[in-house]
Structure 1
Amino acid sequence: MVVLDLFSGAGGLSEGFFRTGSTFVGHVEADSHACNTLRTRTAYWTLKNENKLDIYYNYLLKKISREELWDQANVKNSNDVINSFIGDDTFEDITKTVRQTLKDKNIKNVDLIIGGPPCQAYSLVGRARMQDSVTCDPRNFLYKYYVRFLETFKPKMFIFENVPGMLSAANGKHFNDIKIAIEDAGYHIEIKELIASDYGVLQDRKRIIIVGWKKNKRRKYYQYPEFETIEKKYLVKDVLEDLPKTKPDRMIEGKGKYRTDTNQYLIDSNIREEGFDILTQHETRMHNETDLKIYKEAITTWNKNKKRLCYKELASRRPELINHKNTTSFTNRFNVIKADTPASHTVLAHMAMDGHYYIHPDVKQLRSLSVREAARLQSFPDDFYFEGSRSAQFRQIGNAVPPKMAEQIAKKITSII
């Protein structure tokens, strides 16, 4: 199956299609750090298919540089990853590059287009933060370029993902405009809201998944695919238990660093296979003493009473810990990852700013999640390496489609096509 990936991010959605053996003719992404991550992951899959993963593992162990990895995997100068904003000035160049890649790989057609435009202008949080400026945000209209790609490459199907808020943005006008534009391009669409926890991810992440088919006079009826769900039999603690305990502002990497062997959840979800022993990016951010005291209050409140810490209540009980004058808005600004529940709350890109919403449940560690822990909650495998600064890594993780959910989507779409 030949796939073109638009607005790729770090490649959470494309990871699912890599697992089903898809061939990519382009990952188009504006963020340079995410593009570097995509190129590194493309190197992983290239080397895996050639039985040369020892080269990739040498990179994880810092025995070779990133450039050496890319060079040995022959991805350094490839056009599989296109670092470009999608707009009027770049559209023709991007399509020309994709056509050249099709020619180079001796492929005639694109079977599937996947991806979704950045969601800040559609999300409820983004709208609240941006207020009136959200109405003229250019990201509202990036879907038009998605439609132009459909018109240009005419794939059999497409997968368009976004946040649930897309349906209500501008009182539904944006979604209605999207639907009309796609139908005018010759595609029928079906839409559902999917929850990541139904597909092997220990997170209550909701995503709108639009599935589109090229209209065909011989096929008048289309039905939304039944993606295979996965039985919920694990708890959030299962995704954390083998990682070494740590403190704020620490980095733990290398061989022999896991506390225990892997467990069945990590194996089932493809996060850590048996025998894999290279830990990377178990890096935590620094916290000030006041925040650590609040974290302790938050963890204790949950562990003892199964209640979230209310900032307003904290203000009356421990006024010396209050730094914000406003204690009536965002009263849930501190949140603990609930280890004894079947799914955590949603991992968001905002965790690049601070860790207050993602406090580790162990009061003895007293910190927010590490990069690797956040990646695991999104179901990224431990051999998935995120390029860029720590903030860039958190942002890539928070913006991604969980790979395990993407895998379940990819399996069904592959069988249909």
Structure 2
Amino acid sequence: MNFIDLFAGAGGLSEGFIKAGYTPIAHIEMNKHAVMTLETRAIYHYLRKSNKLEYYYEYQKTYNLTDKEREVARKKLLDYVPKEKLELIINNEISEKTIHNMFKQIDKEMNLKDHNTVDVIVGGPPCQAYSLLGRARDKNSMKNDDRNYLYKLYVRFLKHYQPKAFVFENVQGILTAQNGTIYKNLNRYLKRVGYSLQSFTLNAKDFGVPQNRKRVILIGFRKDIITPESFFYHSEYNFSIDELFKDLPNIQAGEKYKKYNYACKPTKAQTSIDVRNNSDILTHHHARTQNARDLKIYEKAIKKWNEESLRLKYTDLEEELMTHNNRKSFLDRFKVVAGNLNHSHTVVAHLSKDGHHFIHPDIIQTRSITVREAARLQTFPDNYYFEGPRTANFVQIGNAVPPLMAKKIAFSLLNNL
């Protein structure tokens, strides 16, 4: 089975489908840092199959070096991989202007590799236009946002390649955007090009992901394929978040862990969801700097959760710690990742702006979570290397589909097909 990944981001969906045994034909993504991450991951999979992962580990160990040194190391890493392995990671925006050239590029590569058909198309168009928060903040409820209509371009890919099935991931708001008109039009477009549609509101924690993350998964089958009645099987992550983070060395706010080893061997919490193995190298464990006022608030929030199982409200703080004039909404702007539960709250791209909503549960560390910790909550394995600055890493992780959830969706699809 093969697949094309549209609006690919850092590759959460792709990673799950690859682990389920699918072969990627192409990835399309407009963000340059996410594209570099996709390339690095493709190199990992190539070197793993070639039994040459030592070259990849060598590259990971440049994480703490300068930008120039990492750039030199990346060029060296690229030399280990045939160019054609990376040619169909396309760094471009999907639009009316670009789509025909994308078809030509993919068609040409498919002919060269004797791919006669595309089995599955996956992807999730940017969700800002559909999100309830985005609509609430915009005076026109995002009606004038061009991203509302990216689904039409997704459907164009279905029409051109006629895959057996597709997986379309998005926020719950896509079902109600513009009073349901967007979803109705999407359904109409799909029927016109020969596809049925099933919508599922799924929670990542029901797929073994240590995170409470609700998303809509739209799955469609070509009209000549019998639509299954049952689809997903559920499982849970049975350990605490504290156990998930246990092997990571303690660091303080503003500190970057400059070694590549862990505090202890992999725990069952990590191996149960395949985020770490014995050969992994630790990277991206770098805590952002916080000012003294924020650290005082973090300490109060951690104590309140760990000792009382209660969330800190902004209005609970002393007057000198409250700098925001708005004291009626967003009272949970400081939130601890619950270490004693088996799931965190939803990891979002806003984590790139500040860490106030993702405070580490350990009072000894008193900081926001690192990129590696956020990646684990999303079930990205520790050998997943995110390119670009830390802010770009957080955006890539927050926007992604958890690979473990994607893997189980991919298996369900495979069994039905």
TM over 0.5: yes
| Structure 2: distance between partners of 1:61 and 1:232 | 30
Partner of 1:244: 249
Asked if the contact 1:225/1:412 (under 8 Å) is kept, the reply is no
Counterpart amino acid of 1:223? P
Instruction: Please state how far the C-alpha of 1:225 moved relative to its aligned partner.
Output: 4.7
Q: Which residue of 2 aligns with 1:78?
A: 86
Alignment CA distance shift 1:232-1:282 (3 Å): closer
Matched, 1:384 2:387: no
Alpha-carbon offset, residue 340 of structure 1: 0.6
Does the 8 Å contact 1:249/1:286 carry over to 2? yes
Q: Which of 290, 297, 301 is the equivalent residue of 1:298?
A: 301
- Tell me the secondary structure at the aligned position of residue 3 of structure 1: strand
Instruction: Identify the range of structure 1 (196-205 vs 132-141) with the bigger mean alpha-carbon deviation.
Output: 132-141
Written as runs of structure 1 = structure 2, the 5 A alignment for 1:150-189 is 150-189=158-197
Q: CA deviation at 1:78?
A: 3.2
Corresponding residue for 1:94? 102
Bigger mean CA offset, 352-361 vs 48-57: 48-57
Decide which moves more: 264-273 or 148-157: 264-273
Distance 1:200 1:295 in 2: 29
Structure 1 ranges of 4+ moved more than 3 A: 75-78
Q: 1:368-379 alignment to 2 at 5 Å?
A: 368-379=368-379
What is the aligned partner in structure 2 of residue 3 from structure 1? 3
Q: CA deviation at 1:342?
A: 1.5
Residues 248-278 of structure 1, C-alpha deviations (whole Å, 9 max, x = no match): 112214433x1111111211211001x2241
The answer on 1:209 being equivalent to 2:217 is: yes
User: Contact 2:134/2:141 (CA < 8 Å) preserved in 1?
Assistant: no
- Match among 112, 125, 135 for residue 117 of structure 1: 125
Query: Structure 2 CA distance, aligned partners of 1:68 and 1:76?
Result: 16
Q: Secondary structure at the match of 1:94?
A: helix
The verdict on how the C-alpha distance between 1:150 and 1:384 changes in structure 2, with shifts beyond 3 A counting, is same
Secondary structure at the aligned position of 1:281 is classed as coil
Q: Deviations over 1:311-351 (max 9, x none)?
A: 1232xxx0000111111111111100001112110000000
Structure 1 residues 134 and 43: alpha-carbon distance in aligned structure 2, compared to 1, 3 A threshold: same
Output aligned runs, 1:304-343, within 5 Å.
304-314=307-317, 318-343=318-343
Instruction: Describe the superposition over 1:360-401 as per-residue Cα deviations: whole angstroms up to 9, x where unpaired.
Output: 011111100001000000000000000011000000000000
For residue 60 of structure 1, what is the aligned residue in structure 2?
60
* 1:68 maps to amino acid: K
CA distance in 1 between counterparts of 2:184 and 2:102 reads 27
1:130 aligns to what?
A: 138
Shift of 1:77: 7.5
The 8 Å contact of residues 43 and 81 in structure 2, kept in 1 or not, is answered as: yes
Residue 26 of structure 1 is matched in structure 2 by 26
Provide the residue aligned with 2:265 in structure 1.
261
- Structure 1 residue 76: deviation in Å? 7.7
Could you tell me the TM-score, scaled by structure 2's length?
A: 0.95
Preserved contact between residue 42 and residue 75 of structure 1 (Cα < 8 Å):
no
- SS across alignment from 2:282: strand
Tell me the matched-pair count: 409
Letter in 1 for 2:411: K
Unaligned runs of 5+ residues in structure 2 are: 63-69
Q: Report the RMSD for the aligned CA atoms in angstroms.
A: 1.5
The TM-score normalised by the length of structure 1 is 0.95
**1:63-95 deviations in Å (ceiling 9; x for gaps):** 971122122122487322000101011011111
Q: CA deviation at 1:182?
A: 1.0
Secondary structure of 1:194's partner?
strand
Contact 1:297 1:309 in 2 (8 A): yes
Residues 76, 294 of structure 1: CA spacing in aligned structure 2 closer, same or farther, 3 A cutoff? Answer: farther
SS for the counterpart of 1:341 is coil
| CA distance, structure 1, for counterparts of residue 221 and residue 58 of structure 2 | 42
2:316 match: secondary structure: helix
Q: Percent identity?
A: 43
Of the candidates 224, 233, 243, which is equivalent to residue 228 of structure 1?
Answer: 233
How far does the alpha carbon of each residue in 1:268-325 deviate from its partner, in whole angstroms, 9 at most, with x for none? Answer: 211001x2241001011111111111111111111222111111232xxx00001111
Gaps of 5+ in 1: none
Give the deviation of 1:100 after TM superposition. Answer: 1.4
- How far does residue 133 in structure 1 lie from its aligned partner after superposition? 5.8
Provide, for residues 168-224 of structure 1, a one-character-per-residue CA deviation record: whole Å limited to 9, x for no partner.
1111111111111111111011111111111111000111111100002xx5x5225
Aligned AA (1:312): T
> Could you tell me how far 1:49 is from its partner in structure 2?
1.2
Segment of structure 1 superposing worse, 68-77 or 21-30? 68-77
- Partner SS for 2:396: helix
**Preserved CA contact (<8 Å) 2:280 2:382:** no
CA distance in 2, matches of 1:271, 1:328: 40
In the TM superposition, what is the alpha-carbon distance from 1:131 to its structure 2 partner?
A: 3.6
Taking the aligned partners of 2:15 and 2:23, their CA distance within structure 1 comes to: 12
